[in-house]
Structure 1
Amino acid sequence: MQKAVLATFLGALLISGCTIRVADLTVGSTKNYNINSAKFVKGPRVVGEDSYPVILFPTGIPNMKTAIDKAIEKDKCAVGLSDLVISQLNHSFIIGSIGIRAEGNLIIDASQPGCTGRS
């Protein structure tokens, strides 16, 4: 009985993890854009992640800029994110992954070439 309890505890420990909310931002971007544009449109909610596997030790270091870039690049006309939430992912003990997640609403600049007709 004790071995079963110990095995269950160790199994739960190996697959456990947590997500920590790091920042809440009204607007965030890693792109250069014309802030005076009069044609900004709110787009859909998107998620971008930068994560690396962990097998005893992390195989890389997650980057917040990469996570935000991946979220913005979901639409070619997007220039930033509104209502941005940055979270740190810690889903590892010995085997798992670590990472950064950026989640927010796309800010679409309809004045860019090829982006007309957005509403």
Structure 2
Amino acid sequence: MKKLALAVIASAVLATGCTVRVADMTVGSTKNYNLNAAKFVKGPRVVGEDSYPVILFPLGIPNMKTAVDRAIEKDKCAVGLSDLVISQLNHSFLIGKIGMRAEGNLIIDASQPGCTGRG
């Protein structure tokens, strides 16, 4: 019985964590692009994440720019994200992971080379 109780407590401690919403943005991008000459099309919702494992201490430092870059780079014609939500992940207690997550709808620039026929 003691082993079962210990296993339940250990599972609860290892499964603890939270995700905190850091920012809500109408439009966000880490890419340079021309706002005036573009034909923008709303794309699918995507998620980009930059996370690192934790084994007693974090094995890296998560970066918001990397998370946004990874989300935008899901499509070669994307230049930004709309309805962007940035979240901080902290799913660790002694072991687990920490990170940043960017989730939003792709903004696709149909005027870029190789991106015609979008929309």
Pick the TM interval, shorter chain: over 0.9
Is the 1:41–1:109 Cα contact (8 Å) retained in structure 2? yes
Is the 1:25–1:83 Cα contact (8 Å) retained in structure 2? yes
Segments ≥4 residues shifted beyond 2 Å: 1-7
SS of match in other structure, 2:10: helix
Give matches, 1:1-119, under 5 Å: 4-119=4-119
Unpaired segments ≥5 residues, structure 1: none
- Per-residue Cα deviation, 1:41-97 (whole angstroms, up to 9, x for no partner): 000000000000000000000000000000000000000000000000111001100
SS of match in other structure, 2:93: coil
Identify the range of structure 1 (15-24 vs 44-53) with the bigger mean alpha-carbon deviation: 15-24
Matches of 1:104 and 1:114, distance apart in 2: 23
Is the 1:37–1:109 Cα contact (8 Å) retained in structure 2? no
TM-score, normalised on structure 1?
0.94
Identity across matched positions, percent = 82
Unpaired segments ≥5 residues, structure 2: none
Report the count of equivalent residues. 119
RMSD: 1.3
